[in-house]
Amino acid sequence: MLAVRGSMVAIVTPFRNGNVDMDKFAELCERQVAAGTDAIIPMGTTGESATTSHEEHRDIIKACLDTVAGRTHVIAGTGSNSTAEAVSLTRFAQEAGCDGALLVSPYYNKPSQEGIYLHYKAVAESVDLPIILYNVPGRTGREIAVATVARLAELKNVAAIKEAGGSIDRVSDIIKSSDITVVSGDDSLTLPMMVLGATGVISVTANLIPEDVKAMVDAALGNDWSRARDLHFRMLPLVRECFRECNPAGVKTAMKLAGLINGEMRLPLAPYLAENEERMKEALVEYGII
C-alpha cells in the first residue's frame, strides 16, 4: 500500500480569464517535483475543486499525472457529498494511474457517523486504490469521530487520515485507538502532530515554499527536532498570513506577489482585502521571498 509520508502539497489550480491555465499548472507541478515534494494532490480544497466541473476535475488530475510522469506520487482529490460522485471520481483516479485518493468527508448534508462510515466503505470497496480519509469539520460541518476512524482503518485499502480538526488531543486519540497513518492537514500544527507520530503533511504553504516544508518534515522524520523546530518557527508567521482569510485565497495571494501565478480565483472566493494583502507582502519581504 502507498506509504503516506513526507511533504505533500495540496496544489493550487491556476486560472486565466476564468479557465484553467493548464500550462501554468504543469509549471507548478514541475516546481514541486524539483523541490523534492513527496506527493502532489490535485483537486483538493486548495485546488478549488468545489468550483471546477467534473470534466475539469478529471482533466486536471490527468494533467498532473502526465506532467509528473512517475517522478513523484499523485494522490487525487476525489471527495464529494454524494457517494455516487465520490465513487465515480475515485474510479477515474484509479484508471488514470493515480497512487491514491484523498476524500473529504461528506459536507453540507451532515450525515450520521454510520452514514460517514458507509460512505467511505462504499468508495473503498469500489476500487483497489489506497484511500486517505480527510477530517476537516470546519468545512464539512461534521467530524469523523475517532471511533469511526478506527472502524474505517480496518478496511484493507484505507491507508491514512489527513487530520485538520485543529486538535492535538484528537490526534493523540486517533494514534492510540488504531494503526492508521496520520498526516497533518493544518500547516501550523504539522510539527506538533509529528511529535505525536504523524508521518508528514498535506500542505497548503508548500505551494509557496516547498523546499522549506520538505526540509522541516524530513528533519522531523529524521529525529532532528532542533532543525525541525527552527524551520517551524521561521515559517509560522507566513503560514498565519496564508490563512488570515479563507484558503486558498491566502496562498494564491502570496504566490501572486511572489510572481508565481496571477492569483485569479473563482467566485465565491474573492481577492484578499487590501490591508491583508499588505500584511502578506510584509511577511514575504521578511521571509526573503520578495
Q: Please give the radius of gyration of the chain, using alpha carbons only, rounded to the nearest integer.
A: 18
Q: Which residues have a Cβ under 8 Å from the Cβ of 209 and sit 6 or more positions away?
A: 235, 238, 287, 289
For residue 134, indicate whether it is catalytic. yes
For residue 272, indicate whether it is catalytic. no
Show the beta-strand stretches assigned E in 33-87: 39-41, 73-77
DSSP 187: G
Q: What span, in angstroms and rounded, lies between the C-alpha atoms of 94 and 277? A: 39
Q: What span, in angstroms and rounded, lies between the C-alpha atoms of 119 and 97? A: 23
Q: Which residues have a Cβ under 8 Å from the Cβ of 154 and sit 6 or more positions away?
A: none
Which one of the listed residues 117, 134, 272, 287 is annotated catalytic? 134
Which one of the listed residues 62, 120, 162, 272 is annotated catalytic? 162
| Residue type present at position 214 | K
Cell readout for 9 is 502539497
Show the beta-strand stretches assigned E in 170-287: 181-184, 200-203
User: 5: helix, coil or strand?
Assistant: coil
Residue positions annotated with a catalytic role: 134, 162
